Structure 1
């Protein structure tokens, strides 16, 4: 059974024991240098997934632009907080049915910047052209662990007419694969169906150009806490 998280209004504080309890169930690899108090991010720009390639290895990290200058962090050091300002309702348009019943509550970190919320990006800007086949890598959203267990996550974009394109959706089953062009920066909507704890397991893979060699990163866990 997962320990409840107790947020304190004002500075966003999260009970670290609850997160540790959840992570224990995921068997996530431990940091070699140990993990201290997690960095809690609740507003501002952050690349929740930044893809890098160095010495033949694909790696995933977090690029935190909520501080100046921006810093790189390990996923095991970061908790992403979705505050109550993210709460909205599922639109009546049937195209948004993947989020649940029209009018029901949903918590969304939006594709367009809102200074009161996290602006969650996915970055491949460090990847060069000509290294991978089709100049792209595949992001696989492998698994969702949530408390409550009925919590669902969807990642989607909206076009200029407000119509959605679903990138990943736990409601109809995972894994889902998202093709990411190199040298790019993607912003999407991150939607959560209920308050609680959400851990998204993800990895990246690619085929090296001209060799057919398939490579992949280690899996990481994106840790989100959604407040009522």
Structure 2
């Protein structure tokens, strides 16, 4: 088990302050979207928007395979193994974690640890870079899990931590990200278990259109946490309004990514409506038949 303070000191001595495109990479416009489920537990992955044929979606860029691919969040589980466990340092600077000094937590660090999945985000999809005006807003809409999630940045000069997302605070929690940005941060999970992280990414296109997409990220924390449970878990909490309207494609992806609960509700509502219409039709036809029968009896 690593000591968090020592690990952070060693890490931050090498880490530059994240800047747009500070972690240089260029994404191939022809990268495919992989089919089937995948468990990503080591190597480099980014969360980011994609824009193709007028459809704005959130996907996971998987750089753990060659060639890299994009994946739907509903098809991917980010697994944080016990190799990521560190202890909260006895330092007031980390009081925002809400954990007592010495408490073991799972840490996805800002700089890469070869034994831990390296989670970041980017706005480098060629379709996105061509379509958006300045940047995107990444909103944390909610976190469902056994503990808290905190995401923060810390500069290489041992500056104060910059908290980006904290699941103990009110939602939504917006984060502005410039175009052509590739950034990694520290992700701190207070307890092992399955975490469902609801995010939204919105942007203004160069033509003035506003686009939005919502997704649920699936994260299995701890070696003893079953991955199958992360794939099948459903986000059951309510999501705050941000004033953005997700596209139809993004809304469908979000419903699928959160276990399909929204789709099931929609189907149930539709079925109830059809049943009501059918009942009215049967009632009307029955009344007409009775009137015809009475008229025939009167004529006899």
Output the TM-score relative to the length of structure 2: 0.58
Match of 2:202 in 1: 205
Do the aligned partners of residues 75 and 103 (structure 1) sit closer, same or farther apart at CA in structure 2, a change above 3 Å counting?
Answer: same
CA distance in 2, matches of 1:78, 1:53: 20
Structure 1 unaligned spans of 5+: 1-34
Secondary structure, in 3 states, of the residue corresponding to 2:177? strand
How many residue pairs get aligned? The number is: 185
CA contact (8 A) 1:60 1:220 kept: yes
Match of 1:167 in 2: 164
Q: Does 1:153 align with 2:152?
A: no
* 1:225 Cα deviation after fit: 0.7
Secondary structure, in 3 states, of the residue corresponding to 1:172? coil
* 1:125 Cα deviation after fit: 0.9
Match of 1:178 in 2: 175
* 1:72 Cα deviation after fit: 1.1
Bigger shift: residues 81-90 or 121-130: 121-130
Q: Which has the higher strand share?
A: 1
**What's the Cα RMSD here?**
1.8
Match of 2:220 in 1: 225
Match of 1:107 in 2: 106
Structural mapping, 1:1-228, within 5 Å: 38-47=37-46, 49-100=47-98, 101-126=100-125, 127-128=128-129, 131-132=132-133, 135-146=134-145, 148=146, 151-162=147-158, 163-209=160-206, 211=208, 213-217=209-213, 219-227=214-222
Structure 1 residue ranges (4+ consecutive) displaced by more than 4 angstroms after TM superposition: none
Q: Which has the higher helix share?
A: 2
CA distance in 2, matches of 1:68, 1:128: 23
Do the aligned partners of residues 210 and 136 (structure 1) sit closer, same or farther apart at CA in structure 2, a change above 3 Å counting?
Answer: same
Question: For each residue in 1:184-219, what CA deviation from the matched residue of structure 2 results, as whole angstroms up to 9, or x when unmatched?
Answer: 1011111100011100011101123463x43211x1
Output the TM-score relative to the length of structure 1: 0.75
Bigger shift: residues 93-102 or 67-76: 93-102
Secondary structure, in 3 states, of the residue corresponding to 1:171? coil
